[in-house]
Amino acid sequence: MDDNNQNGGENQLPVNQEVPQPVFETVPIGNSEPSASPSDLNPEEIAPDVAATEDVMAGGATPEVAASGEPMVYEENKVKYIVMALGALFFIIITIFIFSLLLKKGKETAQPKEVTLSYWGLWEEKEMMDPVIKLYEQKNPGVKIIYEKKTPQDYREKLIVRSQKGQGPDIFRFHNTWLPQIKEITAPLPPEVMTGSEFELTFYPIHQKDLKIGKYYYGLPLSVDGLVLVYNEDLFKKAGINKSPTNWDELIEDANRIQVPGKEGEIITAGIAIGTASNIEHFSDIFGLLLVLNGGDIMKLDEPEAVGALEAYRRFAEAPNNTWSEALPNAVSAFIQQKVAMIIVPSWEILTIKGTDPDLKLKVVPIPKPPGGKQASLATYWVEGVSKMSKNQLEAWKFLKFLTEKETMTKMYETQSATRLFSEPYSRVDLANLIIQNEYTGAVIKQAQDDVYISLPLMSRTYDNGLNDEIVRYIENAINATIKGVSYSEALQTAKKGVDQVIGRYKIE
């Protein structure tokens, strides 16, 4: 840049002074006459190029002249402005794109994806489940839960077949002994919903034993239940007995005192319903209980402990000191008719009894201890699981965890108790104090707290047409064989062959 550009108009030359010639002269093409000198022209005839130069000088902005062969600065600036404009345009486009993505994501967050969960139940009516389902849906917009009460017959087979075809439920109910049969379709409980340590702090030891495979749990229990001793208070008082039996010696003694024989040697009033298979609903459960109390193992039916358990079971129905007979009605019916003083059943059977005769006075106590041995009872309860084939496993587990929360459980208990004598005993340890004094379910909770429950795959009324039902049939055959004169050991050796096949089929260790 020259000094004129730097100092503005203060150093402008007068008009009559000699004007510096431009670096490059413009020579008209095709004109042979020399151009006139600016000094030869009158002021009003100043050449256009000179006038332009003076105008520029007068403004103090003489343009720089680039070296020969290079573009002018103003041309560089023009390119620079174009680049800047394109850059600004690109920035605006990117900003709009990012803003659109954020807006879309915000809308997705505000309006979550619709999720529909199919829920197969077994025992609870839809009207019982609706209040808690609606409460969850209100708290979780976009989640829809469709509950269906299924019939127990062929339930397990339908569950497996439909699940394998992708047509099964997201959530389903299963028995605590079923896991070996359904593990191929059952999803593990994800730690982000409930960790293993949280599970163990929430539920009873029997839940932990039954529902864990490897490092994971495969279900969430809504209740706990097992075998208890139910006895008729009036029949006890009539026999002069005013306290519950605490061990098996006392139980046998009480049964003998209560028994009323007929003139022909028949039993009019039985002491306890044990010893047969044909007229006792839970005969396999009771045999399994005696097996455990005698130190036996379902996988070792040919060993002395198992033989001793079968002998102890049959002795209650073998003359001449029998306290039960095949001639009597079905055990639960006989209890309702006050033809037997004691029965061993799960607590839910009390609903059947009291539903038929609300005025019947009965007591429910834990299973008595064997003499010098450890108390035990068999567990039988139901669990909620999630299908491995479900496309919404996380949402399904979140709903099940909601069902196991204290507030939800107490609400369900209140709803169920409004229409029946009592509800299913809570599965949560921290709710035990609410029902430990309950006359019907207190014994169930006491046994759960004392960790006396054991699960065996020979439970009645699971309707699985598989593991339980098959083993139950082998136990039934063994009991009936001894009635016909087959020795206890021989009957159990035959049963063992069948039981071993069943256990091997389901890979139970």
Closest of 286, 289, 310, 306 to residue 297, by C-alpha: 306
Q: Who has greater pLDDT, 36 or 272? A: 272
Q: Please answer whether residues 153 and 463 qualify as being in contact, where contact means their C-beta atoms are separated by less than 8 angstroms.
A: yes
Task: Give Cα separations from 154 to 97, 157, 161 (angstroms).
Answer: 56, 5, 11
What are the φ and ψ backbone dihedral angles of 77, each rounded to 5 degrees?
Answer: -65, -40
Is it the case that residue 40 has pLDDT exceeding 50? no
What span, in angstroms and rounded, lies between the C-alpha atoms of 189 and 108? 27
- For 88-108, what is the mean pLDDT? 68
* Predicted local confidence at residue 10, as pLDDT: 40
**How confident is residue 220, by pLDDT bands cut at 50, 70 and 90?**
very high
* Predicted local confidence at residue 367, as pLDDT: 98
| CA Rg value for the chain | 46
What span, in angstroms and rounded, lies between the C-alpha atoms of 208 and 394? 21
Beta strands in 335-439 (DSSP E): 340-346, 362-365, 377-378, 382-386
By percentage, how much of the chain surpasses pLDDT 70? 80
* Predicted local confidence at residue 25, as pLDDT: 39
Side-chain half-sphere CA neighbours of 416 within 13 A: 20
CATH class of 115-225+381-453: alpha beta
Is it the case that residue 15 has pLDDT exceeding 60? no
Q: Please answer whether residues 339 and 329 qualify as being in contact, where contact means their C-beta atoms are separated by less than 8 angstroms.
A: yes
What span, in angstroms and rounded, lies between the C-alpha atoms of 239 and 242? 9
Most confident of 40-49, 86-95, 300-309: 300-309
Beta carbons within 10 angstroms of residue 311's beta carbon:
17
**How confident is residue 289, by pLDDT bands cut at 50, 70 and 90?**
very high
**How confident is residue 431, by pLDDT bands cut at 50, 70 and 90?**
very high
Q: What angle do CA 111, 113, 117 make, to 5 degrees?
A: 130
Closest of 301, 321, 331, 312 to residue 261, by C-alpha: 321
Taking only the tens place, the pLDDT of each residue in 151-160 is: 999 999 999 9
Terminal CA-to-CA distance of the chain, rounded, Å?
97
Handedness of CA 325, 326, 331, 333 (dihedral sign): negative
Task: Give Cα separations from 187 to 74, 171, 178, 218 (angstroms).
Answer: 73, 10, 14, 6
Ramachandran sector of residue 69 (left: φ over 0; alpha: ψ -120 to 50; beta: rest): left
Q: Who has greater pLDDT, 424 or 5? A: 424
**How confident is residue 434, by pLDDT bands cut at 50, 70 and 90?**
very high
Q: Who has greater pLDDT, 275 or 5? A: 275
Side-chain half-sphere CA neighbours of 504 within 13 A: 6
Contacts of 371 (CB under 8 A, 6+ apart): 247, 248, 249
- 72-101 CB burial, b ≥16 within 10 A, e <16: eeeeeeeeeeeeeeeeeeeeeeeeeeeeee
What span, in angstroms and rounded, lies between the C-alpha atoms of 173 and 382? 7
Task: Give Cα separations from 303 to 148, 207, 488 (angstroms).
Answer: 45, 29, 11
Task: Give Cα separations from 491 to 183, 201, 460 (angstroms).
Answer: 32, 43, 20
Is it the case that residue 191 has pLDDT exceeding 50? yes
What are the φ and ψ backbone dihedral angles of 419, each rounded to 5 degrees?
Answer: -120, -5
Is it the case that residue 91 has pLDDT exceeding 90? no
* Predicted local confidence at residue 54, as pLDDT: 42
Map residue 291 onto helix, strand or coil: helix
Side-chain half-sphere CA neighbours of 11 within 13 A: 10
Cα 45–chain centre separation: 101
Is it the case that residue 6 has pLDDT exceeding 60? no
What's the pTM value of the predicted model, to 2 decimals? 0.78
Q: Please answer whether residues 284 and 476 qualify as being in contact, where contact means their C-beta atoms are separated by less than 8 angstroms.
A: yes
**How confident is residue 275, by pLDDT bands cut at 50, 70 and 90?**
very high
Continuous H helices in 381-466: 393-403, 406-417, 432-435, 442-449
* Predicted local confidence at residue 313, as pLDDT: 98
* Predicted local confidence at residue 245, as pLDDT: 97
- What number does CATH give the domain 228-376+466-505? 3.40.190.10
Side-chain half-sphere CA neighbours of 428 within 13 A: 16
- For 266-284, what is the mean pLDDT? 97
**How confident is residue 96, by pLDDT bands cut at 50, 70 and 90?**
confident
Is it the case that residue 9 has pLDDT exceeding 90? no
Please report, for the chain, the start and end positions of each structural domain, with discontinuous segments joined by +: 3-59, 115-225+381-453, 228-376+466-505
Taking only the tens place, the pLDDT of each residue in 322-358 is: 999 999 999 999 999 999 999 999 999 999 999 999 9
Taking only the tens place, the pLDDT of each residue in 235-270 is: 999 999 999 999 999 999 999 999 999 988 899 999
Taking only the tens place, the pLDDT of each residue in 461-481 is: 999 999 999 999 999 999 999
Average pLDDT taken over every residue of the chain = 86
Ramachandran sector of residue 472 (left: φ over 0; alpha: ψ -120 to 50; beta: rest): alpha
* Predicted local confidence at residue 168, as pLDDT: 96
**Domain 115-225+381-453 shares a fold with domain 228-376+466-505:** yes
Taking only the tens place, the pLDDT of each residue in 42-79 is: 434 434 443 444 443 344 444 444 444 445 555 556 66
**Which pair of tokens denotes residue 118?**
């199919």
* Predicted local confidence at residue 62, as pLDDT: 43
